[in-house]
Amino acid sequence: MRSLTVFPKEEYAGRLKKVKDKMAENGIDVLFLSDPANMNYLTGYDGWSFYVPQMVIIFLEDEEPYWFGRAQDVNGARATSWLSPCRLLSYSDEYVHSTTKHPMEVLAAWLTQHKKNVKRAGVEMEAYYFSPRALERLESGCKGITFIDANLLVNEIRLIKSKNEIGYMKKAGQIAALAMEAGVNAVKEGARVCDVAAAVSQAQIRGTDQFGGDYPSIVPLIPAGALTYAPHVTWTDEKIKAGDPLIIELAGCCSRYHAPLARTVTAGKPEPEFKRLSAAVIEGVETVLDYIKPGVTCEEVEQKWQSVIARYGFCKDSRIGYSIGINYPPDWGEHTASLRPGDKTVLRPNMAFHLIPGIWLEEMGVEISESFVVTKNGCETLSKYPQIEET
């Protein structure tokens, strides 16, 4: 049976070695990964199955990880991961959404029977799909094992992208530009905001003639008119009026790798204050992109942005970017480095970020973003699309 993994097995082996080195440094015998992105990163597993408990389990003593999930999803693991069939563990459907049983009881029993030398286990306590009950059932079923928080252990390794990963992100960047173009073209006086969202979604999934698009981790965020002051609302069925601004935030996605992109568009001539706000954001974005290079820190990048918008009389108290790469709903960020005060992460070649320095005031907002990869001498944006337009 042909595997649908998107990277050579050697690349997965290199990733696994880095994870095991980190485990050894932290005295971890076994690592339980429930973050779908980390599961994919190490095994290739790709499926919409994260609404039920699932894990990838890495033992320091074993060459190959285990996948653990719903029995119905074993074939998906066979199809998309590089793991041997004997490494695919499962639980029956009686455990799915049961009020009396939990899948982690099955995993704990297997661990107790087969892995008697495990003393210290790492779990991702901040992972979206790892519940307090899952941890409680693991702990109660694994007597003699100490559980510690290994959150972000894999995420931090993911910060530096391989050449192959950057290739997928560049494809995602192309899809993002096409999706943005489709959304902008749909912005017309009298059109509904939901029609703009539909145009974006169609382009995201269609991709290009050479490669298709994947579903992004976040739906299109399209606040319009007065709602542009609220950055994370989606869309309505309201009709667009003359002069209305719209923020379109989206991402291209290719093989689960993301390239987010945001633009602010107006249906006709914008208001003077809107143009002044836009000018501040655009200059800030361009200044930051020119400044980025290996060796500078995340907080220094944010300081450069603040120095620009301060001249316009604006300020922004939220971060202006974050690391990106492979992910699943509900987020395309990696949850590691952020472009904000206090983050002293040093930028290195092949790190990837979403630079999103929007400014939201009481009555309006402007959001213009770029996804970029740090290069040897600066940075390269993943999408090519004009920064602001009137339709």
In contact, 331 and 281? CB cutoff 8 Å: no
Residue 204 sits in which domain range? 163-390
Last residue of a domain, one of 157, 192, 210: 157
Query: Do 160 and 126 contact (CB within 8 A), yes or no?
Result: no
The SS3 assignment for 275 reads helix
Residue whose C-alpha is closest to residue 203's, from 232, 224, 233, 172 = 172
What is the pLDDT, as a whole number, of residue 1?
46
pLDDT given at position 302: 97
Residues 132 and 187 in one domain: no
* Domain end point (choices 109, 127, 157): 157
The reply to whether 201 falls in a domain is: yes
Q: Are residues 109 and 203 in the same domain?
A: no
Q: What pLDDT does 271 receive?
A: 80
- Note the pLDDT of residue 3: 59
In a domain, 3, yes or no: no
Asked if residue 305 and residue 270 are part of one domain, the reply reads yes
Flag whether 1 is in a domain.
no
One domain for residues 150 and 276: no
Question: Quick one: 114 and 177 in the same domain?
Answer: no
Instruction: Report if residue 2 sits inside a domain.
Output: no
The reported pLDDT for the residue numbered 317 is 86
> Domains in the chain: how many in total?
2
Q: Are residues 153 and 228 in the same domain?
A: no
Cα distance between residue 174 and residue 209, in whole Å: 11
* Residues 211 and 292 both lie in one domain: yes
Give me the sign of the Cα torsion angle 21, 25, 28, 32.
negative
25-51 per-residue burial string, b: 16 or more CB within 10 A, e: under 16: eeebbbbbbbbbbbbbbbbbbbbebbe
Sign of CA dihedral 293, 299, 303, 309: positive
Q: Strands 55-59 and 30-33: what pairing?
A: antiparallel
Is 330 in contact with 252 (CB distance < 8 Å)? no
127 and 212 both lie in a single domain? no
CA 40 to chain centre: 12
In a domain, 133, yes or no: yes
29 domain-assigned: yes
Sort 178 into a burial class: Cβ within 10 Å, 0-12 / 13-18 / 19+.
buried
My answer on whether 250 and 386 are in the same domain is: yes
Domain contains 204: yes
Residue that finishes a domain, picked among 157, 184, 213:
157
Task: Please list the pLDDT of the chain residue by residue as tens digits (391 residues).
Answer: 445 779 999 999 999 999 999 999 999 999 999 999 999 999 999 999 999 999 999 999 999 999 999 999 999 999 999 999 999 999 999 999 999 999 999 999 999 998 888 999 999 999 999 999 999 999 999 999 999 999 999 999 999 999 999 999 999 999 999 999 999 999 999 999 999 999 999 999 999 999 999 999 999 999 999 899 998 999 999 999 998 999 999 999 999 999 999 999 998 887 888 888 999 999 999 999 999 999 999 999 999 999 999 999 998 888 999 999 999 999 999 999 999 999 999 999 999 999 998 888 888 899 999 999 999 999 999 999 998 655 5
Does 251 map to a domain?
yes
Give the span between the Cα atoms of 77 and 66, in whole angstroms.
Answer: 11
CATH number at residue 341: 3.90.230.10
Q: Are 260 and 345 in contact (CB under 8 A)?
A: no
CATH number of the domain that residue 76 is part of: 3.40.350.10
Backbone dihedral angles phi then psi of residue 203, each to the nearest 5 degrees: -70, -35
Instruction: Identify whether residues 246 and 365 lie together within a single domain.
Output: yes
Report whether 283 contacts 357 (CB < 8 A).
no
DSSP strand pairing (333-338 vs 321-324) = antiparallel
346 contacts: CB under 8 Å, gap ≥ 6: 294, 295, 296, 297
Residues 108 and 213 in one domain: no
Predicted TM-score of the model (pTM): 0.95
Q: How far is the C-alpha of 203 from the C-alpha of 222, rounded, in Å?
A: 15
Distance CA 253, CA 250 (A): 10
Q: Both 240 and 100 in a single domain?
A: no
Whole-number CA gyration radius for the chain: 23
Residue type, 95: Y
